[in-house]
Amino acid sequence: MRSGTNGGGRSRRRSVFLMAGVALVGLVLSACASHAPQDALKPAGGDSRVTYHLFVPVFWIAAAVFVLVEGLVVYAAIRFRRRSDDESPVQVHGNSRLELGWTILPALLLLGIGVFTIKTVFSINHYPKGPNVVNATVIGHRWWWEFRYPDSGVVTANQLYIPTGKEVVLTLESDDVIHSFWPPKLAGKVDVVPGQKNRMKISADNPGTYFGQCAEYCGTSHANMRLEVIAVTPTDFDTWISQQKAGPAPLPAAPTTSTTAAGSTATAATTSPAAGGQALFLSKGCAGCHTISGISAGAVGPNLTHLQSRTVFAGAIFDLNDQNLRRWLRDPPGEKPGSVMPNLNLSEDEITQLIAYLDTLK
């Protein structure tokens, strides 16, 4: 009987250990990813590298303390467990050397971490000035990002262009509720608060696209409030600024039809799809929400003057192409819950004309 009972106990213990091992392996594997575009542990800029170099030693110190403390707890629980009703563990109360040791050593450890933490805080909150610094204003909306470059007057959305090798100082503002601006590979999170201007700085070592998102729950489409930081060479950045400062390209010429009567040829002009789309843009209320330089001055939605210079739209949740534009124009709130842009109940022909017009906004 006893043997059977002990065997059952050992079997249960093995099952518990097996389940714990599987859970641990699953936990470790869940942290592995071959492609993690928002991996803060792979810094690609100055401030992100500074915080990473603070995080790594603090993490390993914390891990060592955890293993030491938990190891001592487990050791003490096993080594000094009560084996009989009469047995009592050896008391250590009043051991001054031991008590001073476990008081002073953690205090010195925390003091050292505190010194380096304060140094890091001052470093990431030092904002440089001068001609080598790019200034930009970030405005959070539900649920998309607006980017303004005050030195050039350029306004764009969802994709923030920056030059490599230069510090970019961002002024953060909100148009509605609290958001949080977070490009993980370039910097940490900073809240975007209504009625308050916060600041942060970012930089990128190499050209590339760095992904980010709003990191503060802000409503229905919080998860759809994404962003991209596009780092390009300083020369390419200057070229981009020049292109953005220009007005929209003229509409393409309308197609013509030729008819022949009594040996003569007559040419009759027809309205181009792009021109029809522009007329719809003005008549359907789009102009009241969106700015297109020289055409409209709406301030509710993104500036569309150079829409086609971007690769994403609608809070960076869609790649910019005609197919996705059609999906969006059919039913914006259906594609992005809570969208301020209403469903205009456009016909397929009207959508085609609007897309033709939007395709000209290069």
Same domain, residue pair 237 and 290: no
- pTM reported for the whole predicted model: 0.82
Residue 282 lies in a domain: yes
Same domain, residue pair 227 and 325: no
- Would you give per-residue pLDDT tens digits along the chain (362 residues)? 445 555 666 677 777 778 877 877 777 777 666 677 888 889 999 999 999 999 999 999 999 999 999 999 999 888 877 777 776 766 666 778 888 888 899 999 999 999 999 999 999 999 998 888 999 999 999 999 999 999 999 999 999 999 999 999 999 999 999 999 999 999 999 999 999 999 999 999 999 999 999 999 999 999 999 999 999 999 999 999 999 998 887 777 666 555 545 554 444 456 789 999 999 999 999 999 999 999 999 989 999 999 999 999 999 999 999 999 999 999 999 999 999 999 999 999 999 999 999 999 99
Same domain, residue pair 209 and 283: no
Find the distance separating the first CA and the last CA of the chain, reported in whole Å: 85
Residue 228 lies in a domain: yes
Residue 20 lies in a domain: no
Report yes or no: 39 and 184 within 8 Å, Cβ to Cβ: yes
Same domain, residue pair 304 and 346: yes
Amino acid at 143: W
What is the distance between the alpha carbons of residues 325 and 341, in angstroms, rounded to a whole number?
A: 13
Same domain, residue pair 206 and 167: yes
What pLDDT was estimated at residue 6?
Answer: 58
Residue 201 lies in a domain: yes
What pLDDT was estimated at residue 97?
Answer: 84
User: Coil, helix or strand for 264?
Assistant: strand
Same domain, residue pair 311 and 234: no
Same domain, residue pair 291 and 352: yes
The DSSP-derived string for 173-235 is EESSS-EEEE-TTT---EEE-BT--EEEEE--SSSEEEEEEE-S--STTGGG-EEEEEEE-HH
Same domain, residue pair 220 and 309: no
Q: CB neighbours of 231 closer than 8 A, spacing ≥ 6?
A: 162, 163, 164, 204, 206, 207, 208, 209, 210
What single DSSP character describes residue 160? E
* Residue where one domain finishes, among candidates 245, 263, 285: 245
Closest CA to 205 of 40, 43, 51: 43
What is the distance between the alpha carbons of residues 310 and 319, in angstroms, rounded to a whole number?
A: 9
What pLDDT was estimated at residue 268?
Answer: 47
Same domain, residue pair 224 and 290: no
Residues of the domain holding 313: 272-358
Residue 100 lies in a domain: no
* Residue where one domain finishes, among candidates 227, 245, 263: 245
Residue 251 lies in a domain: no
Residue 156 lies in a domain: yes
- Ramachandran area for residue 262 (φ above 0: left; ψ -120 to 50: alpha; else beta): left
Neighbours of 46 (CB within 10 A): 18
Residue 183 burial (C-beta neighbours within 10 Å; 0-12, 13-18, 19+): buried
What pLDDT was estimated at residue 164?
Answer: 96
* Residue where one domain finishes, among candidates 245, 262, 283: 245
Same domain, residue pair 216 and 279: no
What pLDDT was estimated at residue 91?
Answer: 67
Report yes or no: 166 and 132 within 8 Å, Cβ to Cβ: yes
Same domain, residue pair 287 and 217: no
Residue 64 lies in a domain: no
Kindly report the CATH number assigned to the domain that includes residue 224. 2.60.40.420
Same domain, residue pair 240 and 276: no
Closest CA to 211 of 144, 160, 136, 139: 160
Quote the number of domains for the chain: 2
Closest CA to 58 of 119, 110, 121: 110
